Every structure is written in structure tokens, then in C-alpha cells.
Amino acid sequence: MSFINHIVLEYGSGILKNLDKERKDPVPFQRNILKRLVSEGAGTVFGADHDFKSIRDEAGFRKNVPIREYNDFQNYIDMILAGGKNILWPGRTKWMAQSSGTSSTKSKYIPITGDNLRKCHFSGMTAMLVSYLESNPSSKMLSGKALTLGGSTAPRTAGKNGLINVGDLSGIMLANSPSITEFRRSPKKETAILGDFNKKVELICKECSSQDITSISGVPSWNLVMLKRILEYNNARNITEVWPNLELFMHGGISMEPYRTEYMNLIPSQNMHYLENYNASEGYFAFQDDEKDRNMLLLCNNSVYYEFIPLSLYAKALAGEDVETCTIETVRKDVPYAMIISTNSGLWRYSIGDTVMFKSLFPHKMKITGRTKLFINAFGEELMISNAEEAITEACARTGAIIRDFTVAPIFMELDKRGGHQWLIEFTKRPDDIDAFAGILDNAICDRNSDYEAKRKSNVLDRLTLTVLEDGTFMKWLEMKGKVGGQHKVPKLSNDRTIVESILGIASKQALPE
């Protein structure tokens, strides 16, 4: 073990002990966090509106505070932007993370407090780093540089008198990161916050090709674009020729599974590790603490109080019906839940929009299964993103295909036609037989989704239709939407055809003769 690894593990010994306690019994941590949050929030406008001073326990919290989505917080967000203090959290909120998300075309302004940055975002990242070093004590990661391909928005001022700083999460964290991290971070700050993704990648090639990059982090799809350009720039056969000591990819935002094979081809190193983390604008929630187990450990002592609503009851809860949420104490395995959070940035019983499923309890390990608004249920099939991603991963594995991206929408029934699903797929490596690939994909969905299988067998749904897109179609669509780089991604599942028709419009223009 190197000296620097020893120092970091000594520093992180308390973190590791707490992680072990969380694995065995996270319930006391969650109860203490709720008590602390309510106590600190009692003096805020939100706390007064919901009589926080009368809350004594979890039941009282649920009784006083309704579950909210983003739009239900709008009046409080407006007060913060107007310069108000003590609105959602004590003091003045100086930072807002601007996020459009995948389920909305309207920008969201997520409040981020100093407490939230220190005690949630940075503490979560530190826990993941220390956990990795404990599992890999001979790691050389800290002897090199960490390349983060984050968002592309430099923080800007907003609100009354420009008192609020607005940017994407990566820009905010960059502006507030401890100075010691600057020794390891790459590329330089001016490059990291560039708005032009293509220009940023070119500068990364120039700045980082000669550096000792030992870890990378970000969204799998965008990092793949960067790595391929690194190969071209250096005329290299694989990434290990450029960065021989690269050993870790910390990924999140979208599933890694459809891209895993291509990464292994690009980075043919037995020393390479892939770990997923669940880090959103609202907080740092979970990370993969065991490379052999692809589920993530939920962080129950990271200043976030969690509740979970069975997805079948989610609409009723939002409508104000009395639906009892599950806590970390009462959740069950293999049940799809909508995740509800309360945080030290003043998001109270906030629906983050993600659906999760626990794959183990004590320790509580989970996977992200989709979005509360991103699924297809046009015919009662309830296709979730996890079904789609697992199915397309199987289809690629069985045919040798590699995908770049995909999206799916319903084909609605007509008088003389059954309904179905249309998949738009952009391949890096096309299968030899597109029709056979479509059949394998359809069968793989049936294997994972009994509702879809029933609709297929009863002839309610035709076999899926597969439309192959030319290289660069999805990129052109993202550029048109101003969503290139960072956490932006193509929405995978839609209940209507708005996104699909927009992408097909771009595809038809590409197909026109010069």
C-alpha cells in the first residue's frame, strides 16, 4: 500500500466504520437524520407553513408535509430567487442547480445549500473513494489525475440583485471543491465548464493525452464519445496506449450495461474497474461498493431522509390520497418504488422522479429501474427502462451488435392495425441480420415483462418495429435541443411519439440526396 493510500484510509477510517454500521442497521441513522432536518427546518418559511415545531416522529412528518413534485415547490423557489432568506433551509441559498431532466422540457432550479454540498455531495463522493481504496489497497489511482467529463454550464448569477449562482451540478461542485482536489482534477477549470461539447473534447485531447489519467467519471454515452476521440487524436489502438494507468470509471446518469462491451474493447486492461454511483442535482444517494455486485449501497447517513412509494400507488399519493410510504425499515425486495427525499437543501418529501428497486436488505442495495414519467404504458404493458436496457443488452450479446443509443415510443392502434413499439437505434456495430436482432429483442422483453408478453400473445401488440438510424442522428437531435454533454441524454421511453417524430424528422433530412 502506498503512503498516500495509507493516509487516505486512515483519514477515512471513521467513514468506513459508519458504512459498516449502515449495512447492518440503517434505521437509527435515518431516524436521526429526520429529527435533525426537521429541527433545522423549523425556523424556515416552509417549516412554519407546515408546523414543523409540532412534529415528533415520522408519522407526524408524513401528516404535516404532503408529497411534492418540482412544480409544487415553485412558490418557494420564487421566494429564494427574489432574495428571500430562511425559505426552505436556514440562511440564504446561494446556489441553484439548473436541470431540465429527462422528463421535462422546462428548466428546473434545484436549491443547493452549503450544508448540502459538504454533508451530502462531497461526503458521498468521499465515501465512494475511501470504499474503493479499501477494496483496492494497492491502487495507484491517487498518484495520477482524475478526468471528469461533467456538464457544460459555467455558473452564472440570477435572481434579485444577482445573489443566486446558477449552473449545472458539475459546475457548482467545481466552483466549491476543496482546493486540494485541484491537484488531481483534469482538465483545467476553463475547459471543464465550456459550453461547446465538441470544443471541450478537443481541448481535453490536447490537455490530457500526455497526462497520467488514472480515473474517469461521468455519463457512459458521453465518455464513450470522448474516449473514441482520444484514440483518433493519438492514433492509438486502445486507451491503455494513451493512459496505461487508467484503472477506474465512476459512472452514472444512464445504465452502463448497453455500453459495457464497447468499454471493455476500448480499455482492454485487467486492472480496469467500473463502479456506478447515484449522484443527482438533489443529492448523492448511493454507490456500488462491490464490483462483483452491480447494485448500489444506499447511503443512509448522508443527510438525506428517504421514503418509498410502491409505484402502483404513486399517482394516488400525488393526488393527495392517504398513501402510507415505506421507510428504510419497511421496504421490501424486488418491488418498484418511487423515491421520495427530504434533504438539507430544503427539499421536503420531494419526488425526485426516479424509480428504484431493492435487491438486498441489510445491507440495503438497490438499482435504478427508471423514471416515474419515463415508461411506456400505452396498452397496459408497463414497460420500464430496466426491462428495455436488459433486453437490448441481451440482444447485443447474442448478435455481437454494439449500440450507441436508442429510444422507444408506442405505435398506436388504428382501425385495421394493432399497436406496438417502435425502437429507434443507432448502432456502433450493426448486427448481421436486423430482423433477427428485432426478434431476439422482442423475446427478451417478453422474458422480463409478463404484461408485455401477455399483450403480445393475445395479439394486442405486434412484434416491435426497429428503425436503424444513421450515425450521428441522436447527436444532431441533442444539439438541436441544446443538450449536448454533461448529464444530458436521449429519453429512452416515451408514452407519446413527440420525441420519436422529432428524431425521425432529422433522420429523413439526412436521407435526402444532396
Element (H, E) at 13: helix 13-24
pTM: 0.82
390: its cell numbers = 436488459
Nearest Cα residue to 429 out of 224, 202, 223, 199: 224
Instruction: Give the Cα separation of 93 and 87 in Å (integer).
Output: 8
pLDDT digits (tens, 9 = 90+) for 71-90: 999 999 999 989 899 999 99
Nearest Cα residue to 470 out of 514, 430, 432: 430
DSSP result, 194-252: -S-HHHHHHHHHHHHTTS-EEEEEE-HHHHHHHHHHHHHHHT-SSGGGT-TT--EEEE-
Position 103, amino acid: S
506: its cell numbers = 432529422
DSSP result, 90-119: SS---EEEEE-TTT-SS-EEEEE-HHHIII
158 phi and psi angles, rounded to 5 deg: -155, 175
The pLDDT-based confidence of 198 (bands split at 50, 70, 90) is confident
Share of the chain above pLDDT 70, in %: 94
The pLDDT-based confidence of 513 (bands split at 50, 70, 90) is very low
| pLDDT score, position 488 | 72
State yes or no: pLDDT of 215 exceeds 90: yes
Position 224, amino acid: L
In CATH terms, the fold of domain 385-511 is GMP Synthetase; Chain A, domain 3 (3.30.300)
> Which residue ranges make up each domain of the chain?
3-368, 385-511
CATH 3.40.50 fits 3-368, yes or no: yes
Place of cell 443527510: 303
| pLDDT score, position 18 | 96
User: Average pLDDT of the chain?
Assistant: 90
Q: Which residues pair with 408 in a beta bridge?
A: 423, 493
State yes or no: pLDDT of 248 exceeds 70: yes
pLDDT digits (tens, 9 = 90+) for 301-329: 999 999 999 988 888 888 888 888 999 99
Instruction: Determine the average pLDDT of the residues in 235-253.
Output: 96
State yes or no: pLDDT of 203 exceeds 80: yes
Instruction: Give the Cα separation of 327 and 232 in Å (integer).
Output: 49
- Cα separation values, 28 from 25, 34, 65, 357, Å: 7, 10, 22, 22
The pLDDT-based confidence of 103 (bands split at 50, 70, 90) is very low
